[in-house]
Structure 1
Amino acid sequence: MYRIVLVVGLLWGYGAGYGQSTTVRGVVTDAETKEALPFVNVFYEGTTVGSVTDIEGKYVIHTPNLENVNLHFSFLGYKTLVKKIKPGETQELNVKLSPDAKVLEEVVVTSGKVKERYRNKDNPAVDLVREMISHKRQNRMEHFDYAEYEEYEKLQMSLSNMSDKFRERKLFKKYKWLFENVDTTSIPGKALLPIYLQETLSDRYYRRTPEKKIDVTKAHQKVSFDDYIDNQGLSTYLNYLYNDIDIYDNNIQLLTNQFLSPIADGAPTFYKFYITDTLKNQTPNLAELVFVPRNSADFLFQGKLFVTLDSNFAVQKVEMSVNKNINLNWVRELYIDQDFEQTKDGRYQMVKSRMRADFGLSRGGGGLYGERVVSYKDFTVNSPREPKFYEGDSKTSLEDSEKHKDDFWLSNRHDSLSVAESKVYQNIDSLQKVPSFKRTMDIATLLLAGYKSFGWWEIGPVNTFYSFNPVEGFRLRVGGRTTPKFNERLYFETYGAYGFKDEKWKYFLSATYSFTGKSIWQFPTHTLRLSYQRDTKIPGQELQFVQEDNFLLSFKRGVNDKWLYNDIYNIDYVHEYDSHFSYRLGFKNWRQAPAGGLYYQVNNQDATITVPQVTTTELSLELRWAPGEQFYQGKAYRIPIPNKYPIFTIRTIAGVKGLFNSEYNYQSVAVNVFKRFYLSQFGYTDVVAETGYIFGKVPFPLLAIHRANQTYSYQLQSYNLMNFLEFVSDQYVSVNFDHYFNGFIFNKIPLLKKLKWREVATLKVLYGGIRNENNPQYNPTTFVFPMNPEGETTTFSLSKEPYIEASVGVANIFKLIRVDMVKRLTYLDHPNVSQWGIRARFKFDF
């Protein structure tokens, strides 16, 4: 996630250096009735910069400094009004429009105190929307048995709203040539400096039965930041933010949130619709349909639909944006435009989609502007290819796809680049060769990603250099790893650590071979890894995407004295496929010795026997299927991006007695399923279900030690009020619910709406148990459960009662922090447990 933080950090420093902008807001009303006027056009004279009033007559326009500008207010049936604006200021301008008697053909006189109530019943606009809903299926690509077309995609990011004062700073003296590439024409009222550009030209193929989609990339090029940021990961994340938009979907995924489509099945419940014009000068005739949210704070769109008044009731054009009252982070403006054209069979297919978003920390300062344009041509429908063609991979790239020169792109782009865009490839390449820029990026990468690169070698992560715990005391650690500059197939990683209390050295060494010749994190991976580790570990602590040596995790609640000294030899073979199916084969020889307050003992009739260590050898197989999965690509982790599809994981392990001094025979199987359920305006729920079973007779260190958390950080997949090594099982089933309301409740409370807080709630339930052969109460030959100095047992088997904990919380505090109040509901009589707790975590969302 460091590259996201890098962008946020850039915006903080960048926005502070910008000049002031002009912000005008207000309300437009009828001069006679005093009623608010919706859909009034508000624009600057001589430009296309403007806005439209919402259902309450409100408008807001943000622009860079302008001089001598006039703001026009125009609406059918009213006299146009022109007001002078003071440049460089934030001002409120409420206006009253007077009816124009010459324009009005019909006047309806009503009482000024009576406002007509909006109704769905007998509303021709709603009737039209319902016709569109009933005809959705026939207007989608999926209506055809076969289809193919060419797709061109352009994704660009720019710094926006740069002032002359900012560009003339001494800090940028060496980069004046870069600022000469500012674009002031593409988006009227915005000064844009392109910093990223990605272009893709593909052939797409579709078969309905059985469904198959094939994407063949013919050409691809993009700006590269590979020395500082994982370029593939950045590309994936930007494409995730600027997702494909299908107006015929009920819910549209946008900027990590779901928005209800204006023609969703339930749209009339959440939107208000108005027919504002009919266009009879073309065939078929069109209706201009305006839509606005009933509640401006809900995740809904506002804008216009142009609908064909024929048997198709299809979308011919859409122009929409999001309301500024929506609980979105960083987003100042967001616009979507789509155009459709009629095909030979009479139906309408999308030919161009354009999404624009302006991000920033403040309404008028500097920010980051992003635009994704996708266009389609050469449609061919119901012309099938040979059956073997559809048996190929879903995504492929031609061998020369990244080798095309400028003349190819000039001939094959669907849209030409702007002058500024055409220079971005060369400019960014030149920028990365400037020594001062390289030093700045090195420092930023060290602080935010945790690694300092020295070419073929990099040191890190820095947040693990110092930590402390009750067994080792103060712990110092330093490590590093090779980069692709050392070898594109062979990677080494190591660290050394020393504890000043136990006075012992710990170390790690691994070698990984990449069969693909690409990064060992880049999908799809195909690697073989050999490693050896001698280090400490807390039984039952399983962290996600966080280093266990992280300094902040040194702070723990309660008693934290049960540790292990581990010696682990690992061989790990991983093979991923483009279909997102993968398998993992593993060999692990593990020697574990108890440390701190943990001990291994057997109580027989004659004496208590202390066991100094346990040695096992395991063979493992893991199968994983994650349809359509994407990733946040980082330097140390590859973090999955949830989508609408479930993720299935099956793990099997076999312990082999006698193999490399292994002491036990056992087998285990575990099945894990993750699924995100999108609930439209009510947010979304992440559900994780898992079950496991261990066959054989084993002591408690080899049972399933349930994931506990005694830090003050909220861990999504751990039990945050369970103590380490509190529960063990040889059979269990668990289910976790984590629901994000996305401000559905808080958006209706004025103060909380202004703070943009979001409500969350979780419930975690765990059932489990131990067979008598593995329970020391019934089998005296197995290890006794640990006790504390007071003689109280601290490790337990789950009984008929499940372990349950729940939490409610507030997310999006300062746009980054989530705080949960957690309540433990069962097993409250165990020693040193907490019934309540406050936990926090960082979470970046839009």
Structure 2
Amino acid sequence: MKAKKILFIVIGFLLPLSLLAQTKVSGIVKDETKQPLAYASVYFKNSSEGIITNELGKFYLESKSSYDTLVISLTGYEDILIPLSSRTTLDMNIQMKEDNLMEELKIYTGKTSKKNNPALDILRKIWENKKKNGLYKFDQYKYDKYEKVEFDMNSIDSAFMKKRIFKGMEFIFDHVDTSSVTGKTYLPIFINEQASEVYGDNKLNRKKELIKGNKNSGFNDNQHIKAFINDLYVEYNIYNNYLKFFDKDFVSPLSRTGINVYNYVLADSTYIDNKWCYNIIFYPRRKGELTFKGDFWVNDSTWAIKKINMTASKGANINWVKDIYIEQEFNVLNDSVFLLTKDHMMTDFSIRNKEDSKGIYGKRTTYFSNHKFDVKKPEGFYTSEVNTFNQDIMNRSDEFWNTYRYEPLTTEEIGIYKMLDSLQTNKTFKSYMNLGTVLASGYWQIGNFDYGPIFSSFGFNDVEGTRIRVGGRTYFGQNDPWRLEGYMAYGFKDDQIKYGISGKLMLDKERRLIAFAGNRRDIEQIAASLSPITDVLGRSFASSSLLASGDNSKLSSINLTTAGLEIEPLKNLKLTAAVNYKTLKSGSPTFNLDYYTDIENQVVKGDLKQAEINLSFDYTPGRKTVGYGVDRTDVDFNYARIFVNYGLGVKGMLGSDFDYKKLQLLYRHPILVGGFGRLTPTLEIGKTFGNVPLGLLNVIPGNQSYFIIENAFSQLDYYEFVTDEYAALHLEHNFNGRLFSRIPYLRDLNLREIVGIRGVYGRISDENRALNASNIQYNAPQDDIYYEYFVGIGNIFKCLRIDATWRGNYLDTPNARKFGVKAVFGFHF
């Protein structure tokens, strides 16, 4: 808000220098037995500005206008009118008395009735008219959009400011402010503004945003932090049945299924902007579900939302998030159509959920203006992508921002820009920034060189023994048009040095035409993936399992060279053409890749030389990225992917040993199943045409480590199944705590249930069997589909997932692992 209270803290004393906000109130509401009253309505008299108390009965309300009376209202209790003698009245202790008409209003206390409830009649009218309101009413639309994102450290106090971590940065506390939502003090650490034009076509179901200007300070050149911010603040429509926040499906209070999870109360009615509106309060029926509490105002003729405020339920199963607050405002167009004009979302991130714990506010405020309708654009306008980085967008003048800002920055916000710019030159702050970058990216930046990935510096396998690795890449910024990367590794057991080097160069920024080349000589578990790894320096986790079950010596020595071109002619569609050349041989004395070279099966060869021409199609609809350089960072991984690869082996080319053709397909599509978690199906299909040895066949990926590896079969050993044609399906469903939230005590642990099944069918031809001279016996799951199923518990200590997996068949296979437990660490909301 424009009106804020600026605080300076000096030697532990709080000195308010100005009180710019017109009216501030806070307190706690209780009943006659001193018990807190949740969901009581708190608002300024004769206004639509209000809030409801949280589960602890607490509230904080701030307004830019002056008011002299505060109203506390809760169905079943007498209204309380509190005179406000000053602009700031904090920490009030308010006691409500039961209404004499309590019996008549009984249906609205606790769980409200689903019958004879006027609030539900209004809700049904909203459902009937939601497709007739807003942007849905028109075939095409266009509007201007201004967005401001800010991150702040909150709960700043004198003890916090005296910590040694801030030594040399004390000047930042000159910019401490107070939240208009929670009343807590906070210190801005990041601010970003973006102005854009948005076009949409409801008939084509297309949308495109053209960025006109971007201005930021704080972490302005950190690709991973920007990706994190973009992932946090996805677009949503309150009329949808489910709203996606932090990779979770929240039930919207306007959902058709809302009756089953929300209580609704018709609380008030009044004129807002000359339109008669009803006020409805909503709050969850049960604890632990992904729901909100709050209220909305709805017009009595169009049944369109005029204003809505909502806060996520305290018991929602989300890590690191203490509060989510959302506010949306709508204006009337031509006396009938309500258009969204303001969208504000604030998240309180904290490691602990205690009321006084310190954390970070993430705030996004978006304004929408200058709407135009039924201006048709050609379909190619929406499918084309603006891929180029335009430095002018990042360097817009003050005159530009004065034109595009819906409301001007306050004096405090202007000061924040200056403070954050100064902070970038502070040595202490830069040290903390470097540490945060290492944790996010895995690289340690030294000048224009990134050392890493740090987490790959140490490994172990049966062939190399203990393995150490050093490497890095060039890094001048997130939009680098070229990049070199390399590493060296050494195994203490095999006493061999390994290395890899690669480079990329962007030839055409508009279409993202990139040339690439590289070479790698290393020890690898080549049977760890069905779909090809496109990164020449890529190395599977299975190649260096710190802990493994059974024999983990079936590793190969590979010398791989690649060169090619990739282009992105359409948004999220990447086409690649490459030539690969590799030599392959066993990396272990107990394992070999031998094959016969003659019809009589008398001559055996143990190494392989092969050149292959690769053409690939990689389509990722819905994928969002940050950066415009040769390497981009994904905003999230919840997009569909269709990957098709065609490989052509040419005998004699560069001394190659075999002719063959290989066709492979991968399809993956995470699906949020409204309110019931996420289903992730992954399908892999492939066939090799021609006679080839073990090193070129399709080995069904087993997993002998004690960790979960994506798209690998947990109960299969390496090389247990070998095929030349295959079809594999992985189904995994994460309920995100939906089931555990119904179980008392267990719901407080915020655990998450995972179930799944994996299956694969494959065949191996007699001709390929005849080539085999290795010590691996060819078996394929062609008599029965091999399958395994698993159940898991995630979010243990907020970072651990454990799966228990059962092998479904082929139980008579020698040394078959019938049951296993695997784990994986990760941080997820």
Which residue of the partner structure matches residue 14 of structure 1? none
CA shift for structure 1 position 734: 1.4
Partner secondary structure for residue 725 of structure 1: coil
Distance change >3 Å, CA 773–CA 381, structure 1 → 2? same
Distance change >3 Å, CA 378–CA 640, structure 1 → 2? closer
Pair 1:59 & 2:57 matched: yes
What CA deviation, in whole Å up to 9, does each residue of 1:315-363 have, x standing for no partner? Answer: 1111111110111111111111111111126211111111111111122
Which residue of the partner structure matches residue 587 of structure 2? 595
Contact 2:231 2:635 in 1 (8 A): no
Equivalent in 304, 316, 325 of residue 326 of structure 1: 316
**Using the alignment, how far apart are the partners of 1:295 and 1:487 within structure 2?**
47
What CA deviation, in whole Å up to 9, does each residue of 1:728-776 have, x standing for no partner? Answer: 21111111111110111111222221111111112111111112222x2
Equivalent in 607, 614, 618 of residue 624 of structure 1: 618
Pair 1:801 & 2:784 matched: yes
| Structure 2 runs not aligned, ≥5 long | 1-11, 15-25, 62-69, 83-90
Residues 417-436 of structure 1 aligned to structure 2 (within 5 Å): 417-436=409-428
Partner secondary structure for residue 516 of structure 2: strand
Partner secondary structure for residue 811 of structure 1: strand
Which residue of the partner structure matches residue 641 of structure 1? 636
Distance change >3 Å, CA 524–CA 754, structure 1 → 2? farther
Which residue of the partner structure matches residue 123 of structure 1? 117
CA shift for structure 1 position 27: 8.4
**Using the alignment, how far apart are the partners of 1:466 and 1:696 within structure 2?**
39
**Using the alignment, how far apart are the partners of 1:486 and 1:143 within structure 2?**
40
**Using the alignment, how far apart are the partners of 1:425 and 1:154 within structure 2?**
13
Contact 2:218 2:424 in 1 (8 A): no
Which residue of the partner structure matches residue 503 of structure 1? 495
What CA deviation, in whole Å up to 9, does each residue of 1:530-551 have, x standing for no partner? Answer: 1111111112124999864799
What CA deviation, in whole Å up to 9, does each residue of 1:33-53 have, x standing for no partner? Answer: x99966324799xxx999635
What CA deviation, in whole Å up to 9, does each residue of 1:750-805 have, x standing for no partner? Answer: 2221111111112111111112222x2xx3xx014534xxxxx4x52122211211
Partner secondary structure for residue 460 of structure 2: strand
**Using the alignment, how far apart are the partners of 2:649 and 2:515 within structure 1?**
21
Contact 2:134 2:340 in 1 (8 A): no
Contact 1:242 1:372 in 2 (8 A): yes
Give the aligned length: 777
Which residue of the partner structure matches residue 410 of structure 1? 402
Which residue of the partner structure matches residue 78 of structure 1? 78
CA shift for structure 1 position 95: 8.2
Contact 1:331 1:357 in 2 (8 A): yes
Contact 1:342 1:349 in 2 (8 A): yes
What CA deviation, in whole Å up to 9, does each residue of 1:7-55 have, x standing for no partner? Answer: xxxxxxxxxx9x9xxxx99984466xx99966324799xxx9996357x
**Using the alignment, how far apart are the partners of 1:266 and 1:476 within structure 2?**
55
CA shift for structure 1 position 139: 1.0
**Using the alignment, how far apart are the partners of 2:164 and 2:339 within structure 1?**
51
Contact 1:40 1:52 in 2 (8 A): yes
**Using the alignment, how far apart are the partners of 2:733 and 2:285 within structure 1?**
24
Which residue of the partner structure matches residue 569 of structure 1? 561
Pair 1:532 & 2:508 matched: no
Distance change >3 Å, CA 828–CA 619, structure 1 → 2? same
Distance change >3 Å, CA 323–CA 94, structure 1 → 2? farther
**Using the alignment, how far apart are the partners of 1:175 and 1:239 within structure 2?**
28
**Using the alignment, how far apart are the partners of 1:114 and 1:268 within structure 2?**
14
Pair 1:673 & 2:667 matched: yes
Residues 687-702 of structure 1 aligned to structure 2 (within 5 Å): 687-702=681-696
Contact 2:504 2:514 in 1 (8 A): yes
Deviation larger for 523-532 or 829-838: 523-532
Which residue of the partner structure matches residue 838 of structure 1? 821
Aligned-partner residue type, residue 236 of structure 1:
A
TM-score by length of structure 1 reads 0.84
Contact 1:764 1:806 in 2 (8 A): yes
Aligned-partner residue type, residue 593 of structure 2:
Y
Deviation larger for 370-379 or 413-422: 413-422
Distance change >3 Å, CA 558–CA 25, structure 1 → 2? farther
Which residue of the partner structure matches residue 286 of structure 2? 295
Distance change >3 Å, CA 497–CA 123, structure 1 → 2? same
Distance change >3 Å, CA 656–CA 803, structure 1 → 2? same
Which residue of the partner structure matches residue 253 of structure 1? 244
What CA deviation, in whole Å up to 9, does each residue of 1:471-497 have, x standing for no partner? Answer: 122323222222227994332222222
Aligned-partner residue type, residue 346 of structure 1:
S
Which residue of the partner structure matches residue 340 of structure 1? 330
CA shift for structure 1 position 632: 7.8
Partner secondary structure for residue 369 of structure 1: strand
CA shift for structure 1 position 448: 5.8
What CA deviation, in whole Å up to 9, does each residue of 1:405-463 have, x standing for no partner? Answer: 22332343112224333233332232222223333433554566433322122322233
Partner secondary structure for residue 129 of structure 1: helix
Which residue of the partner structure matches residue 721 of structure 1? 715
Contact 2:482 2:630 in 1 (8 A): no
Residues 442-481 of structure 1 aligned to structure 2 (within 5 Å): 442-446=434-438, 449-481=441-473
**Using the alignment, how far apart are the partners of 1:35 and 1:225 within structure 2?**
44
CA shift for structure 1 position 114: 13
Contact 1:668 1:695 in 2 (8 A): yes
Aligned-partner residue type, residue 806 of structure 1:
Y
Which residue of the partner structure matches residue 790 of structure 1? none
Contact 1:147 1:207 in 2 (8 A): yes
Equivalent in 343, 346, 350 of residue 340 of structure 2: 350
CA shift for structure 1 position 98: 2.0
Pair 1:153 & 2:153 matched: no
**Using the alignment, how far apart are the partners of 2:815 and 2:251 within structure 1?**
47
Which residue of the partner structure matches residue 6 of structure 1? none
What CA deviation, in whole Å up to 9, does each residue of 1:201-236 have, x standing for no partner? Answer: 111222333343232221111125366x32xx4323
Residues 755-834 of structure 1 aligned to structure 2 (within 5 Å): 755-774=749-768, 776=769, 779=770, 782-784=771-773, 786-787=775-776, 793=777, 795-834=778-817
Distance change >3 Å, CA 61–CA 365, structure 1 → 2? farther
Equivalent in 573, 579, 603 of residue 581 of structure 1: 573
**Using the alignment, how far apart are the partners of 2:640 and 2:169 within structure 1?**
48
Aligned-partner residue type, residue 571 of structure 2:
S
Contact 1:50 1:61 in 2 (8 A): no
Partner secondary structure for residue 641 of structure 1: coil
Distance change >3 Å, CA 524–CA 371, structure 1 → 2? farther
Q: Percent identity?
A: 27
Aligned-partner residue type, residue 319 of structure 2:
N
What CA deviation, in whole Å up to 9, does each residue of 1:81-124 have, x standing for no partner? Answer: 99xxxxxxxx9x998632467xxxxx365799998973323322
Which residue of the partner structure matches residue 88 of structure 1? none
Which residue of the partner structure matches residue 39 of structure 1? 39
Distance change >3 Å, CA 697–CA 168, structure 1 → 2? same
Residues 310-325 of structure 1 aligned to structure 2 (within 5 Å): 310=301, 312-325=302-315
Aligned-partner residue type, residue 534 of structure 1:
R
Which residue of the partner structure matches residue 193 of structure 1? 187
Distance change >3 Å, CA 277–CA 111, structure 1 → 2? closer
Deviation larger for 810-819 or 489-498: 489-498
Which residue of the partner structure matches residue 204 of structure 1? 198
Contact 2:703 2:713 in 1 (8 A): yes
Aligned-partner residue type, residue 170 of structure 2:
K
